[in-house]
Structure 1
């Protein structure tokens, strides 16, 4: 299993984002941040330079975060951004595809994958969701932000843009994934329901809140995320 090298773009990652789509990706990540105030144990995968995780820790003084990233430099940037909450942040330099979830006996009520699942192949994504699901609380939330191929006149332009992104990341980092995987099917099969969503740039960017269904409990009523 080849590991891409994101260290090479870590320090310029923020500015590469801004040059490509301005503040759109950042706004996408932060859109549902205010609704995570009730969460206490978060698992954050591949947060890049840590902008979301730092804001999560600042906005929710009662939360603890396990952050997993394949890039040492990305994790170093995250720790710098989260210095005032270092006692609630636990970083793991590891490949999320092979991380031993559940080895510490933790139960998470929040999973965050902002622009991370698109780095996985379909089999890798399905395996990852299957490994994470057993270590989640009965009504856990899962925040997902990612690129989408919308219907309508933007479809061809979106396809071309996403292909160009994959090509750029292949050249810069060695990322082998070449197309957006389907996370809707496997996350639904593991008992999650989408309870809120927000899309921008004519549907190219989307951020969604999924919640694990509990017996005889509607996901929309268990917590006030909307």
Structure 2
């Protein structure tokens, strides 16, 4: 069947080959450092769900650090998936990855079926209303004692770091709105959407003057909804 790609998919298809270069002027290697920052804190996994990994640099690292894991990668852009497949092949791990091309909002996922959910620079693409609606469903895919690995931009509380972060956040959201039709206008804090009775923070790293944060959470036993 002929598909009619969405504006978002077409936009990320255009940007796929240039994604790494777009990061360089402001962040240098900080975004990739953040993607990888807490991987060392993950125990051996069997099944990992990755949402919106883009060009596959994190996927490649996950496959290297979790040699026994099977990975399901949900990504809407066919060009991004092509890059992911090349990176998986470069570490001889294509057989351990299932690719699903589609919108993560509508892709059906089984409750409690993954040891870890990875969302790196993905949740910032959604509005607060969208996250409030979608995040519980994504998190429900994580089994008891499983992990949620969240990497994203944050706005520091005060001072010049806050002003700097708000400026670059404004620039980035408007760029991606122009290119992909992104509806989100600012970074939405994720922590208030996580129930502290369900999710316990296990490790945290901050980079780029507090503008980037990597956090590994673990679902407490017997707290699967």
Gaps of 5+ in 2: 1-5
1:122 has 2:103 as partner: no
Residue pairs, 1:201-212, within 5 angstroms = 201-212=208-219
User: Secondary structure at 1:82's aligned position in 2?
Assistant: helix
C-alpha distance in 2 between matches for 1:124 and 1:190: 22
Determine whether 1:87 maps to 2:70.
no
Which segment is superposed worse, 60-69 or 147-156?
147-156
Q: Shift of residue 106 of structure 1?
A: 6.7
> Counterpart of 1:34?
40
Tell me which residue corresponds to 1:192.
199
Residue 135 of structure 1: CA displacement? 2.6
What secondary structure, in the 3-state scheme, does the structure 2 residue paired with 1:146 have?
strand
Task: State how 1:66-215 maps to structure 2 within 5 Å.
Answer: 66-83=72-89, 84-102=92-110, 107-153=113-159, 154-188=161-195, 191-215=198-222
Q: Which moved more, 1:85-94 or 1:185-194?
A: 185-194
What is the distance in 1 between the residues matched to 2:71 and 2:222?
A: 27
Shift of 1:96: 0.6
1:3–1:175 Cα contact (<8 Å) kept: no
CA distance in 1 between counterparts of 2:182 and 2:140 reads 28
> Contact 2:7 / 2:180 at 8 angstroms: preserved in 1?
no
In the superposition, the TM-score normalised over structure 2's length comes to 0.89
Q: Displacement, 1:187? A: 2.2
> Which secondary structure does the structure 2 equivalent of 1:66 belong to?
strand
